[in-house]
Amino acid sequence: MAAEQLRCLFMEFLGNFDTLAGIKRWKEVGFRDVTPRPPGVTQEIVKFNTPAVALKWPQFQQAVANLPAKEEPDWCWISGHHGRQKSSDWDGNESSWPNHIATEKKVGFFNKAYHDFAWPNGNPLRPQQIFMTTTRQPTDPQALAPTDNPLFTKVRDQCKGVVLIGCYSLGVYNSERETYKTMFPNALLIGLSFRTDGLRNQVAPLLDNTKIFDQDFYRSPKTDLQSLAKYCYYLNLHLHTPATINLQYGDRTAGYDSSSHTATAADESGNTAVFPTKSK
């Protein structure tokens, strides 16, 4: 009997070219795109970066929250601006950055309209300005607030992997790491550990390595993280399993690979995570 087709879901808040490449690559591998299309949206990528589509965010939220079991995604891809909810939530002083990322609870992905008008000065949300939290579950999964994350309406324990494209999208904010660990308990998490300029931090080249990222990998992404480590250097990526998500480079260094510019951190239980030690 043939294996069931893998399913993927995309959330795009900018229109990043990484997402175009990701859709192309995943379809080549054999994925089926289960991303809900709001009424009137026919594009291959549902981009919440245009006013007309952004106004349909509430319908999209509810459609994702109510996906039937046969449409549950095996892999999720989220791309957009990412960071604290308001610019003023951090005072800009490097000395206060460690405390900020350790304690900040309002973090998420957002579109350009929010970035340009609401993020700088804390203006109230307008319908075309989208901020989606990555740090808390909805109060009511059947009546989602505009900032609720529809993927967080229930634990997605069948999800095998999550790709997160945005500045500091993984491994930085404590509250965010804890939420991903809870909502995606069995997923491999791939995200950016630095601020992206939109060009250097491409995930597409990583996925193009078909020797690693083949059908078998996507079905059971338990590849030795060290096999992926050298790509961290080129792409400024973090790769985590739920067991390693709270490890940070420098906590307990177990090894350094000069050829790939990576270090391995380990905890007392033997869980390990690989981190880039410099950017290209």
Structural domains of the chain, count:
1
Report if residue 140 sits inside a domain: yes
Report if residue 258 sits inside a domain: no
At residue 78, the pLDDT reads: 93
Report if residue 267 sits inside a domain: no
Residue 122 has pLDDT above 70, yes or no: yes
Report if residue 84 sits inside a domain: yes
**Structure-token pair, residue 218:** 């996507």
- Tokens 């995309």 identify what position? 10
Report if residue 260 sits inside a domain: no
Report if residue 259 sits inside a domain: no
Helix (H, G, I), strand (E, B) or coil at 200: coil
Distance CA 211, CA 191 (A): 20
Between CA 131 and CA 134, with CA 133 as vertex, the angle to 5 degrees is 140
Mean pLDDT of the chain: 80
Per-residue pLDDT tens digits for 23-40: 888 888 889 999 999 888
Residue 254 has pLDDT above 50, yes or no: no
Per-residue pLDDT tens digits for 261-278: 444 544 445 555 555 444
Report if residue 57 sits inside a domain: yes
Q: Classify residue 135 as exposed, middle or buried by CB count within 10 Å of its CB (0-12, 13-18, 19+).
A: buried
Distance CA 42, CA 235 (A): 31
231 pLDDT band, cuts 50/70/90, is low
Domain with 209 in it = 7-250
**CATH number of the domain residue 33 falls in:** 3.40.50
Report if residue 171 sits inside a domain: yes
Overall average pLDDT of the 32-54 stretch? 89
Nearest of 191, 194, 177, 192 to residue 242 by alpha carbon:
177
Better pLDDT: 198 or 17: 17
Q: Classify residue 216 as exposed, middle or buried by CB count within 10 Å of its CB (0-12, 13-18, 19+).
A: exposed
Dihedral sign computed on CA atoms, order 61, 63, 66, 67: negative
Residue 200 has pLDDT above 70, yes or no: no
Neighbours of 87 (CB within 10 A): 14
Dihedral sign computed on CA atoms, order 39, 41, 42, 45: negative
